[in-house]
Amino acid sequence: MTIDAFETPNLLLALPEIWLLAMACVVLVVDLYSSDRDHGPAFILAQITLLVGIGITMITQWGVDATTFNGSYVADSLAAVLKSAILLLVFLGFAYSRDYMRDRGLLRGEFYMLGLFCVLGMMVTVSAGNLLTLYLGVELMSLCLYALVAFDRDSPTGSEAAMKYFVLGALASGMLLYGMSMLYGVTGTLELSAITQAAAEMDEHRLLFLFGLVFMVVGVAFKFGAVPFHMWVPDVYQGAPTPVTLVIATASKVAAVGLFLRLIGEGLLPLLESWQHMVVILAVLSLILGNTIALVQTNIKRMLAYSTFNHVGFILMGFVAGTPHGFGAATFYAVTYALTVAATFGLIMLLARKGFEADQISDFKGLNERSPLFAFVMLLLMISLTGIPGTVGFYAKWMVLKAVVEAGFVWLAVLAVIGAVVGAFYYLRLVRYCYFDKPEGEGPQPDGSRGFQAVLAVNGLAILWFGIFPGSLVAVCMAAFL
């Protein structure tokens, strides 16, 4: 690559990011001058930013296939789908967080600012066309998340979780960067499209190429929280404030899908044979370890952390196929899983009150007596996570399994189905507590503002809606690849 001739960037293509950055700075200033102790203006502005952001993303990037900033920014349908999902998930996270944060004295303007900057980092990651942009996006996202995990400064578990997350995350970033430097050394370019081309024609320096690939797979697996690079996940899920856990469990997983697809899935598709086996190993280990350890958890946040590995295994299985169908299935899986888990954490926040975290599984005993609606939502969420027909989780699992079987990995599909059956035990146990047990002590008390309850109910029922009519969402996810 010679020193590029500079072309004036088409800023309109990058409008979603520009909007988000500008509004994050507006929120910063508005919050500084507002005297509202509840930080209402910052909250409302942040929510408007996220919703308008979805619209802008869809208008400017859906169905487009263009690059700008000399190829370092890609605007295409994949970016549009992933960005909309990320924006929606963080919107849900903010909407559920109000009461929870207020009860714990954590309602501060920085929560919204860091959240918005985190979204910006994720958006940059999923539309990166250049190794440097990709890395900077990942770093922006991670730095915000480290700070958010430590948001409750007085909580020892929170600080411990943040410290672990920071140290392991820095290690992962180092791995990723080291792998990228190898790629740069071999190809002499930072641009992903040029690297894809070089990977297809590579024969002389193949070994060095693969060496870089290994490091990048490790780095991405860290960000995913795939076994065996999962050590940070349970502690972070448990230690972080629940709204932050929600963002890590949902939006950052969707961003990790984008990271994998840009860097390895599409970027190094010519090397499919080489990375397929690595991803298979990650998927198998995630499926096995996640399910077995989730069985014995009594803390629901930890249980969800371990069951995440199971779902990450499924997402990775979609990548293993290496076909557009496989990638589409993985994207669909990640988006629907994130929506389901967002509602689950929303329910935990609904039941939590001052001095009560509602993070033990037994805290859900007798939910049906207190609120039949939210017990039903919980039922929907859990059967969706299990993958029972009628909910969206079933379609997601089915699509991934189909892609994997078509790619010739029947044994992997069988293993995944066995895993899903094991998973049914700990998901349905929660349903049993909700419906067939009496409340203990004060028991669960679902109380929250009307807006919170309405959004949560819609989110929960959407799982049912997409389970019965999955066509539109499937079409959107597939259109990004075909």
Q: Which residues bind other proteins (CB under 8 A)?
A: 1-4, 6, 9, 14, 21, 28, 69-70, 72-73, 108, 110, 113-114, 117, 120, 124, 130, 132-133, 136-137, 139-140, 143-144, 146-147, 150-151, 153, 188
Collapsed DSSP state (helix, strand, coil) of residue 68? strand
Cβ closest to other proteins, residue 137 vs residue 470: 137
Cβ closest to other proteins, residue 143 vs residue 361: 143
Length of the chain: 482
CA geometry: angle 44, 46, 49, nearest 5 deg:
110
Cβ closest to other proteins, residue 125 vs residue 344: 125
User: How far apart are the two ends of the chain, measured CA to CA in Å?
Assistant: 30
Closest separation in Å from C-beta 103 to other proteins: 19
Cβ closest to other proteins, residue 125 vs residue 331: 125
According to DSSP, residue 261 is labeled: I
Distance CA 197, CA 194 (A): 5
Distance CA 255, CA 81 (A): 11
Closest separation in Å from C-beta 341 to other proteins: 25
Cβ closest to other proteins, residue 180 vs residue 303: 180
Distance CA 356, CA 366 (A): 16
Closest separation in Å from C-beta 198 to other proteins: 12
Closest separation in Å from C-beta 189 to other proteins: 9
Closest separation in Å from C-beta 22 to other proteins: 11
Which residues does 44 contact at the CB level (< 8 Å), separation at least 6? none
Closest separation in Å from C-beta 251 to other proteins: 16
Which amino acid is present at 168? L
Q: How many CB atoms lie within 10 A of CB 428?
A: 16
Burial of residue 372, with CB atoms counted within 10 A of its CB: 0-12 exposed, 13-18 middle, 19 or more buried: exposed
Closest separation in Å from C-beta 174 to other proteins: 16
Distance CA 410, CA 416 (A): 10
Collapsed DSSP state (helix, strand, coil) of residue 106? coil
Closest separation in Å from C-beta 391 to other proteins: 37
Contact 404, 326 (CB under 8 A): yes
Closest separation in Å from C-beta 179 to other proteins: 18
Which residues does 52 contact at the CB level (< 8 Å), separation at least 6? 19
Helix then strand then coil, in percent of the chain rounded to 5, is 75, 5, 20
Cβ closest to other proteins, residue 163 vs residue 428: 163
According to DSSP, residue 441 is labeled: T
Strand partners, 299: 360
Cβ closest to other proteins, residue 154 vs residue 442: 154
Distance CA 319, CA 257 (A): 9
Cβ closest to other proteins, residue 151 vs residue 224: 151
Distance CA 352, CA 446 (A): 8
- Closest CA relative to residue 345, chosen from 371, 377, 314: 377
Closest separation in Å from C-beta 6 to other proteins: 4
Contact 138, 125 (CB under 8 A): yes
Cβ closest to other proteins, residue 22 vs residue 468: 22
Q: How many CB atoms lie within 10 A of CB 309?
A: 27
Which residues does 140 contact at the CB level (< 8 Å), separation at least 6? 117, 118, 120, 121, 124
Cβ closest to other proteins, residue 259 vs residue 342: 259
Closest separation in Å from C-beta 234 to other proteins: 23
Closest separation in Å from C-beta 77 to other proteins: 21
Cβ closest to other proteins, residue 184 vs residue 465: 184
Structure tokens at 220: 């991405």
- Closest CA relative to residue 426, chosen from 245, 291, 230: 291
Cβ closest to other proteins, residue 262 vs residue 397: 262
- Closest CA relative to residue 188, chosen from 171, 216, 215, 208: 208
Cβ closest to other proteins, residue 187 vs residue 308: 187
Closest separation in Å from C-beta 404 to other proteins: 36
